[in-house]
Homo-oligomer: A and B are copies of this chain.
Amino acid sequence: MSKFKRSQRIAMMVMEFLFYANKSFSLNYFCEKFDVAKSSVSEDLQKLNKSFQEQGLGMIVSNIGASGGAYFKPSISKSESQLFLENLKNKLQSKERILPGGYLYYSDLIFNPKITNYLGLIFASRYVDEKIDYVLTMETKGIPIAMATANYLNSEVVVARRESKVTEGAVVTINYVTGSTRRIQSMSLNKRSMQPGKRVLIIDDFMKAGGSAKGLYELTKEFNCIIAGIGVVIDTEIPQQKMVDNYFSLLKLKKVNEITGEVEIEIGGK
């Protein structure tokens, strides 16, 4: 008889599913791990699915059969996502965050794992069916969000750098025009970082005119990869015309007034 009771099996299964989100485990794997019959594992999985849905994190997708398996498919509930974004919006709408030039300081939020986990869960929920191989971002502030997203998608992160480093080896470099200041900048990516034909999700923290998203887009094409989506946390209302078309944003920055200290942000950017 198994030394694990149902509640213990279930606890350990949650740990595995969360640690390896979007990765399929065979039923046999759990049968052997817990020394129980397939029927017990199937029943466990049904219970687990209910719990994941109740918690608003997603679901356990099971494929019962000879070569059966199950995986945790992340999917944040609409209400939970709204609640989180409302909270984030309120934090961002503080006049203390206004920097000279009308920028907003938000490094404290973007490097807080509790916040990035949620952001990652939201992006992963949207792109989980797109079979993403790489989450591509640009240094520096895109990295934590890209990592959290890739964690839930079971994919890898690839980081384009502003300058190529001696510790990086052969790189592909492209030039791009920053959308807002019209300066020419370059970004580099190690030649071995993406295999051709793979599916890429571009993630960034902020989009004004979309120059760096456009750069990442061009870089993806240089590697003969497929762009499966572009997601940003905050985009700006102005300029309305961005350098990339199809993107998804969580928050829209409508106004920053350095004199009155007013910051206006709207949920559901694009």
Q: Whole-angstrom distance from the CB of A161 to the nearest CB of chain B?
A: 7
In the complex, are the beta carbons of A193 and B147 less than 8 A apart?
no
> Which residue of the partner chain, among B112, B143, B168, contacts A143 with CB atoms under 8 Å?
B143
Closest chain B residue, CB of each to CB of A57: B15
- Chain B residues whose CB sits within 8 angstroms of the CB of A99 once the complex forms: 166-169
> Which residue of the partner chain, among B6, B113, B190, contacts A150 with CB atoms under 8 Å?
B113
- Chain B residues whose CB sits within 8 angstroms of the CB of A248 once the complex forms: none
In the complex, are the beta carbons of A144 and B169 less than 8 A apart?
no
Given contacts A143-B143, A169-B100, A192-B105, contact A11 B112 (CB under 8 A): no
Task: Mark the stretch among A152-160, A211-219, A236-244 that contacts chain B.
Answer: A152-160
A57 to B111, CA, bound (A): 24
Closest chain B residue, CB of each to CB of A206: B167
Range, interface on chain A:
35 or more
Task: Mark the stretch among A45-53, A83-91, A262-270 that contacts chain B.
Answer: A45-53
CB-CB contacts below 8 Å: A56-104 with B: 57, 99-101, 103
In the complex, are the beta carbons of A103 and B159 less than 8 A apart?
no
- Chain B residues whose CB sits within 8 angstroms of the CB of A54 once the complex forms: 4, 8, 12
Cβ of A140 within 8 Å of any chain B Cβ, yes or no, is yes
Q: Whole-angstrom distance from the CB of A169 to the nearest CB of chain B?
A: 4
Q: Which among A107, A140, A168 has the highest number of chain B CB atoms within 10 Å?
A: A107
A58 to B80, CA, bound (A): 28
A158 to B32, CA, bound (A): 43
Q: Whole-angstrom distance from the CB of A151 to the nearest CB of chain B?
A: 4
Closest chain B residue, CB of each to CB of A14: B14
Q: Whole-angstrom distance from the CB of A88 to the nearest CB of chain B?
A: 15
In the complex, are the beta carbons of A140 and B166 less than 8 A apart?
no
Cβ of A139 within 8 Å of any chain B Cβ, yes or no, is yes
Closest chain B residue, CB of each to CB of A139: B140
In the complex, are the beta carbons of B190 and A107 less than 8 A apart?
yes
Q: Whole-angstrom distance from the CB of A167 to the nearest CB of chain B?
A: 4
In the complex, are the beta carbons of B168 and A105 less than 8 A apart?
yes
A139 to B139, CA, bound (A): 8
- Chain B residues whose CB sits within 8 angstroms of the CB of A18 once the complex forms: 14-15, 18
In the complex, are the beta carbons of B140 and A108 less than 8 A apart?
no
Given contacts A139-B139, A143-B140, contact A11 B12 (CB under 8 A): no
> Which residue of the partner chain, among B7, B139, B168, contacts A7 with CB atoms under 8 Å?
B7
Q: 10 A-B contacts, Cβ less than 8 Å apart? A: A8-B47, A11-B52, A12-B54, A12-B55, A14-B14, A18-B18, A99-B167, A101-B166, A113-B148, A143-B147
